[in-house]
Amino acid sequence: MSSSKTLDEPLTYSTGDIIHEDDPYACALSSDVLSAVCSYCISRGTSHSCEKCKRLHYCSKRCKSKDRVFHRLECQVLRALGPEDDVLDEETRMVIRTLDRFIRERQSHSISEASFFSCTRTIYDLLSHIEDLSPSEFEQAKERAETILSIVSPFVFTQLEEVMDILQRCRINCHSIVDHNDFHFFSRGRAVYLAASKTNHSCVTSNEYVQIFNGRKILLRAIQDFRIDDPLQMTIHYMPPTLPYESRLRRCLNNYYFICSCRKCVWQARNPEPDQAAGETVAEIEQAFEEYHSSDEWYEIGTKLLEKVKNLPEKNFYVYWLLIQMQPTCFELGKYKESIEYGIRATNGAESILSLEPLFHYLCQAMVKLGWNKSSNPNHGRFAETYKLTKTLYSITHGSNHKIVQGLRKMRGTWWAKGSDKLYSFFRKQDPVDSQRVDDVRDGAIEVQ
């Protein structure tokens, strides 16, 4: 791992290299996925449950036993609240899990450490910003901490200051965990990372590396060959970088207590974005995303709202937000051509390689549904191009052996699945030089009829 290198030597990375990897100090699933997602590795599938509280589920015995130590206090609290009580909300479970580990380590004098390159971090290094809270924010946080204290105090010894401190450290340092092992990129919950929390925010998307999640692990991965003198200068997004400037400014101040001075913010502060949606339309769009809608309802709502913002470019946050909702909605409804149209428009608004990936995956899927993957189809060229790009993107961010990349291979069509093994062994038996041709065929560089 490059983490052992010192700050003095420039670090070099090749495309696909893992730059940094970090396990969470604590993590908690969103309440709405608790029954469908493994509470340890965050993958889908829940064949095992905690037999004590019966509220948390796991994909395997192994995950269940790995989570035991992190779930201990949470389990006691859940049992005490009883089955008729609603499962504790996500933030409360997150704080309980963090507090549990913190108290255990405090008592045993073994504080966990994690390294971000030359920087060693413990829970004490995470900012809490308690001193920056306004009087009303302070009261709100104190009230929350009192509630949490009242439910955990029968089981552990702690005090209000400690609970408040952990609550604030969680609030400031939490990452939303996204399941990047699923092409849908679902949001799965939140986690606190000791080392990764060292990375600062910027609204400018790096074209050298991405931050992705592999299960509960967070990683930084190189998406091109590059060298960096000071890894502490690497940045991530604390919020979607496509949000309008004013919203980013507000979020930075309200949630993280700083004013972003990245080059995008500096530029936009002096040059207001020309393409803004009207206030009431923005409110309407935000409202639509706050409520649950069936695909049929979304189709109607999305069509209506997109009509209202039709003069704005795709890179406008709200237009983009609607487009990335409409693409899978139309796919679900079997409107594949529309799904492709929305998907292509959305790619114009995507700022990062990670936001492009699910768009391209859906594009391929819709094209397969329309039969464009068949070499006889007049649109086969468009499919082949999209497919190749999709595979390249996922191979870089996920590694070429990842199940998403393997799943993509199946989209090549039945002629490929049936014929590839025969073809492969045929070429292998020929002159070894020709085996390059097999790889070219596999990569789509040579068309096989």
Task: Give the interface with Zn ion as residue ranges (CB under 5 A).
Answer: 38, 40-41, 50, 52-53, 59, 63, 75, 203, 260, 262, 265
Structure tokens at 390: 């999709």
Residue (66 or 382) nearer to Zn ion, CB = 66
Residue 126 phi, psi dihedral angles, 5° rounding: -75, 135
Tell me the closest approach of the beta carbon of residue 205 to Zn ion, in angstroms: 11
Residues 265 and 248 sit within 8 Å (Cβ to Cβ): yes
Tell me the closest approach of the beta carbon of residue 265 to Zn ion, in angstroms: 3
Residue (56 or 305) nearer to Zn ion, CB = 56
Tell me the closest approach of the beta carbon of residue 66 to Zn ion, in angstroms: 8
Residues 278 and 305 sit within 8 Å (Cβ to Cβ): no
Tell me the closest approach of the beta carbon of residue 69 to Zn ion, in angstroms: 12
Residues 409 and 424 sit within 8 Å (Cβ to Cβ): no
Residue (75 or 411) nearer to Zn ion, CB = 75
Tell me the closest approach of the beta carbon of residue 78 to Zn ion, in angstroms: 6
To 5 degrees, how large is the angle CA 100–CA 104–CA 109? 145
Q: Is 9 exposed, middle or buried (0-12, 13-18, 19+ CB in 10 A)?
A: exposed
DSSP assignment of 25-46, as one string? SEEEE-GGGTTTB-TTT--B--
DSSP assignment of 94-117, as one string? HHHHHHHHHHHHHHHT----EEET
Tell me the closest approach of the beta carbon of residue 5 to Zn ion, in angstroms: 28
Tell me the closest approach of the beta carbon of residue 343 to Zn ion, in angstroms: 28
Tell me the closest approach of the beta carbon of residue 127 to Zn ion, in angstroms: 18
Residue (201 or 335) nearer to Zn ion, CB = 201
Checking DSSP bridges between strand 174-178 and strand 187-192, what pairing results, if any? antiparallel
What residues form DSSP beta bridges with 228?
A: 11
What residues form DSSP beta bridges with 28?
A: 190
Helix (H, G, I), strand (E, B) or coil at 19: strand
**In this structure, is the dihedral angle defined by the CA atoms of residues 27, 31, 32 and 38, taken in order, positive or negative?**
positive
Tell me the closest approach of the beta carbon of residue 150 to Zn ion, in angstroms: 20
Residue (59 or 405) nearer to Zn ion, CB = 59
Residue (52 or 142) nearer to Zn ion, CB = 52
Structure tokens at 116: 């971000």
Alpha helices in 203-335 (DSSP H): 245-251, 263-270, 279-290, 295-308, 317-332
Write the CB contacts of 267 (distance below 8 Å, at least 6 apart in sequence): none
Residue (80 or 283) nearer to Zn ion, CB = 80
Tell me the closest approach of the beta carbon of residue 48 to Zn ion, in angstroms: 9
Residue (238 or 360) nearer to Zn ion, CB = 238
Residue (53 or 306) nearer to Zn ion, CB = 53
Among the listed residues 387, 349, 341, 347, the one whose alpha carbon sits nearest the alpha carbon of residue 368: 387
Which residue type sits at 447?
E
Q: Which uninterrupted H or E stretch holds 192?
A: strand 187-192
Residues 216 and 37 sit within 8 Å (Cβ to Cβ): no
Residue (203 or 405) nearer to Zn ion, CB = 203
